[in-house]
Amino acid sequence: MFLCPHCGTGSVLGPEGLERVESTAILPAPGRRAQLWKPAWVLETEVEVGQRIRAGGRPTDGSRGQRRFVVPAFPLPLRSLSALARALSTGAGEPGEVPRAPLPGGTLHLDDAVTFARFLVVSEEVARPDTLASVEVEVRVLRFRLAALPFERDGDNLRCAVTGVRV
């Protein structure tokens, strides 16, 4: 995936070459600044949790609604990816103009970002206080964008300039 450093246009490398994708940036939180930018997917989705069955076979109410997920699209250990995606999906700030800076390291395909959003929903269901036996989760993408995420250097690590999460 690429963001043009001249015009900010987002593109992904597909089977037919570069394909344009809508792009945006997520602005740093007040008092923080972007020292470098990393790629992410912003997914506007409709999430349906159905067929939720507790241990013993008792059904519980499912849910349906729209949610936004921000999924980092660069290599991270699963624990860091999960923590950062959860924090960004609940606390990402306002979108802004795409930075005119390199955006290296984009490797996560859109389909994998959707799968990861589904993983986040399933993990939320598992964390509920009842004993879960099974659940069906469907995540339908209504709109997606390639986003630039701001980071600050923190020794050998990076700190998200939106959420403060270290990766």
- What are 73-121's pLDDT values in tens digits? 999 999 999 999 999 998 777 777 777 776 777 888 999 999 999 999 9
Instruction: Tell me the pLDDT band of 32, cut-offs 50, 70 and 90.
Output: very high
- With H, G, I as helix, E, B as strand and everything else as coil, classify residue 101: coil
What's the confidence (pLDDT) of residue 99?
Answer: 76
What is the residue extent of each domain of the chain?
2-160
- Token pair for 105: 């390291």
pLDDT digits (tens, 9 = 90+) for 119-154: 999 999 988 888 888 899 999 999 999 999 999 999
pTM score: 0.89
Spatial contact of 162 and 149, defined as CB atoms under 8 Å apart: yes
Q: Which residues, including other chains, have CB under 8 Å from residue 165's CB and lie 6 or more apart? A: 80, 83, 84, 87, 159
Distance CA 36, CA 149 (A): 8
What is d(CA 35, CA 74) in angstroms, rounded to the nearest whole number? 16
Give the pLDDT of residue 68: 95
Look at residue 8 and tell me whether its pLDDT is greater than 90. no
Q: Provide the 3-class DSSP secondary structure of residue 107.
A: coil
Torsional class of 40: left (φ above 0), alpha (ψ -120 to 50), beta (otherwise): beta
123 burial level (CB within 10 Å; 0-12, 13-18, 19+) = exposed
Residue with tokens 């300039």: 161
Q: Concatenated DSSP letters for 61-93?
A: --EEEEEEEEEE-S---HHHHHHHHHHHHHH--
